[in-house]
Amino acid sequence: MHGYRQRTGPFRVTWSPLTVRDKIAALQHKSFSATFWNWQHLYLLDALRQYGFPSFFSTISPYEWIFPWPGFIQELREDLAMEPTDLPVLETLHIAHVLEQVARGYLTGANTNRWRQHLFSNQQHPTESNLLTYFYRFEFQSRGTLHLHMLVWVKDLSLIRANLLHASISWNNANDAFLVVDTQQSSSSSSCLPLCDTPDFFIQRADGSMHLQFHFTEQDLSRNLRMYHNASWCTTMQNRRPASRWQGHVVEVRVVLCHENTRGGYSGRIVWL
């Protein structure tokens, strides 16, 4: 990789080699380079040193057969007699866009300063940020489906919109209960929370930090139910049919129903999955 310098004379161009520092600087903002990811790793380590363990770790895994697709992809499938996963490039780009907007919008509110009703917002003082920082990364499952892993640090856990987080089946709404049972069960009990028959509540530890204790019953444990939030069921004012695999409670219309696993700090540490 070389650079060039044009002198005053006509058509006289001379090449001069770039230094190692120049090459690193040129690649550090390109996500296809190892330099970029080395920097991201250093940023993450710096966040751990400054803020300690993350407040939340969330995994969001779409399911192509019920994910909400734009009209042009649906029309292509109908015209070409295709099924989900038959348009991998277009589908992957769309899934990445949706998941990124959920992570940067509904969860953290980082993509706009005008909307303050995101999950990790400050409920008492909406104009003040409760978010310290966050990291997320796209990965591909063995079958090729894009999914997202995300780490979030907040200033005060007790200020978040905790009513959007759940660990138990909501039997008050049959549709919600069916979707939670269908999408949030795990094949392993390693992700299950401690049993708690009381409603969700905050606990203040001896060091002054807050811990969120979730309602989690024997019935939830028998299904290996994973903690979830209803950011996965984002709402719109449009009249759309349910589509996709997320989780959470349906507020108006289910838009993105992805499988999700959200874990918060437990015993002062994040639970890594």
Higher pLDDT, 135 or 31: 135
Say if residue 17 is exposed, middle or buried (CB neighbours under 10 Å; 0-12, 13-18, 19+): exposed
157 token code pair? 């856990």
88 token code pair? 């991998």
Q: What is the DSSP string of 99-123?
A: HHHIIIIIIT-TT-SS---STTS-S
CA-CA distance, 41 to 35, in Å (whole number)?
10
Which DSSP letter does residue 149 get? E
Query: Mutual orientation of helices 88-101 and 71-80 as an angle, nearest 10°?
Result: 160
Least confident of 7-11, 185-189, 261-265: 7-11
Query: What burial letters (b/e) apply to 203-219, b meaning 16+ CB within 10 Å?
Result: eeeeeeebbbbbbbeee
Query: In angstroms, how far apart are the furthest CA atoms of the chain?
Result: 83
Beta bridge partners of 152: 56, 134
pLDDT tens digit string along 125-168? 888 889 999 999 999 877 778 889 999 999 988 888 888 888 88
What's the CA angle centered on 152, arms 147 and 154, to 5 degrees? Answer: 160
Q: Which helix (H) or strand (E) holds 203?
A: strand 201-204
Reply yes or no on whether the pLDDT at 246 is more than 50. no
pLDDT of amino acid 226: 81
Say if residue 45 is exposed, middle or buried (CB neighbours under 10 Å; 0-12, 13-18, 19+): exposed
pLDDT of amino acid 106: 86
